[in-house]
Amino acid sequence: MKLPAKISRAYLSSCSYFYNKYHKRLRYTVVLLLCVLICSCLCSCWSQREINSLAIVVGTGLDVGDQPDTLKLTVQIVKASEIGTNSSNDGNKSEGKAYINISNTDKSVLSAVRGISHIQNRRPYFSHNNILVFSDDLAKLDIKEGLDAFTRDYEARMNVHILISRGMASEILNEDASLEKTPALHIAGMMKDQNANPETAIVTVRDFLIATLSESTAPVAPMVELYESEGKKYAKLEGTAVFKQEKMIGELDKTQTRGLLWVNDKARSGEITVDTQWGQVVIEFFHSSSSLKPVKTEDGNIQMQLTVRMDGIVESNETTKDMSNLENVEMLKKEMDKVIHSEIEGALAKARSFSADIFGFGDAIRREYPQDWEVMKKNWDKAFPEIELNSHVDVELRSTGGLTKPVVPGGAK
């Protein structure tokens, strides 16, 4: 231990000699060097992203390419300069679009994204992407590649909405959005509004991946299509796509989607139209929640037990009867019960016909009865259509809104 000690002492004493002699000068030099160094960090030579060199992507579409084994990627990029202008005053409405769509076809998502550099001078920046639209043709083949790429990439976020388009995804991104300046923001805004009307499943990349990773659950995604009105094309949310093993295998319509959302505890608020013997009564429901539990019957089979709870108020009464009458309130509750039951049955029948566990029965069983699940999962595809669902609806009608009695012609005495 003597030698290293000697060497280090010599080293130290020489250091301290210089340190003492040039103390002040050294100090200033070091401080100066540090300042220069810190400045060089601030200018961020690497990974530098200036806003004027970015193409901010707000929506992405994926289609089947025209060559075999290719993808057609469409990115919607906002034109920041057009966003602020009021196009109706400019008089050049047709040119004043606040976005451009760039399409590129290549073997993979990333090569298509990079290929955009041959077409545009700005690089797509995906952090502000709102929606990811897959065309149904692509979805029927495989959506794995698009999903993986859009989750793995560090710019992409997991709260992007997934949609499946009837027809080309690039066409959807080209719709004539009327209130918003870009179709992608229009569709993303619609997705946010679906909480008030449970006829569309709201599915983010995270939700879709969680369902995909599950051993049993069949992922679902909302569908979007175009409709024409006065020569213009508008996007419209309609129905739900059902997947199995990352391939689209079928669709649910509006009512079946509602049935699905009742079971999945995704229906929060909305309206239920009840046909009474005197006419229609519309009930608005809110604070709705549901819980799905597997229960074992006495003979060892597993059944699903669903309880739906909600508060409701009478929103409109098209009959001449007084719905604040307690007897009628009970009658309305029963009718609501019937409507919800029939919606759930509709969705269940459709899911059974696909043998696709869109409700997550398998996961619920795995959580409650892990041992039984180990046996059941082996032929889940056959077992799922056999599973019984007992649903129980618990409605509380809170009030009749602003009116207690109906508006009856000649009702004033």
What is the rounded CA–CA span in Å between residue 161 and residue 203? 6
Interface pick for another protein out of 12, 31, 32, 83 (rule CB under 8 A): 12
DSSP H/E element including 10 = helix 2-21
The reply on whether position 11 binds another protein by CB under 8 A is: yes
Which of positions 213-232 make contact with another protein (CB under 8 A)? 213-214
Task: Measure Cα distances from 151 to 132, 155, 276 in Å.
Answer: 11, 9, 49
Considering only 100-108, 165-173, 313-321, 365-373, which stretch makes contact with another protein by CB under 8 A? 365-373
CA torsion sign, 133 to 135 to 136 to 141?
Answer: negative
Considering only 13-21, 70-78, 103-111, 387-395, which stretch makes contact with another protein by CB under 8 A? 13-21
Residue 6 C-beta-side C-alpha neighbours within 13 Å? 3
What is the rounded CA–CA span in Å between residue 161 and residue 237? 13
Interface pick for another protein out of 158, 295, 349, 375 (rule CB under 8 A): 158
**328-355 burial by CB neighbour count: b if 16+ within 10 A, else e?**
bbebbbebbbebbbebbebbbebbeebe
What is the rounded CA–CA span in Å between residue 19 and residue 168? 72
Strands 54-64 and 220-229: unpaired
Which residue is associated with the tokens 């997991």?
Answer: 158
Interface pick for another protein out of 242, 312, 366, 397 (rule CB under 8 A): 366
| Contacts of range 174-180, beta carbons closer than 8 Å, 24 or more positions apart | 174/101, 174/233, 175/226, 175/233, 175/234, 175/235, 176/232, 176/233, 176/234, 177/234, 177/235, 178/234
Interface pick for another protein out of 1, 179, 407, 412 (rule CB under 8 A): 1
| Number of residues in contact with another protein under rule CB under 8 A | 30
**Closer Cβ to another protein, 122 or 157, answer by number:** 157
The reply on whether position 87 binds another protein by CB under 8 A is: no
Interface pick for another protein out of 157, 236, 244, 254 (rule CB under 8 A): 157
Interface pick for another protein out of 10, 26, 31, 37 (rule CB under 8 A): 37
182 is written with which tokens?
């870009």
Considering only 71-79, 91-99, 154-162, 234-242, which stretch makes contact with another protein by CB under 8 A? 154-162
Query: What's the closest the beta carbon of residue 255 comes to another protein, in angstroms?
Result: 25
φ, ψ for residue 159, nearest 5 deg: -100, 30
The reply on whether position 94 binds another protein by CB under 8 A is: no
**Closer Cβ to another protein, 91 or 154, answer by number:** 154
**Closer Cβ to another protein, 232 or 296, answer by number:** 296
The reply on whether position 264 binds another protein by CB under 8 A is: no
Query: What's the closest the beta carbon of residue 185 comes to another protein, in angstroms?
Result: 11
Q: What are the residues binding another protein (CB under 8 A)? A: 1, 4-5, 8-9, 11-12, 15-16, 19, 34, 37, 41, 46-47, 154, 157-159, 206, 209-210, 213-214, 363-364, 366-368, 370
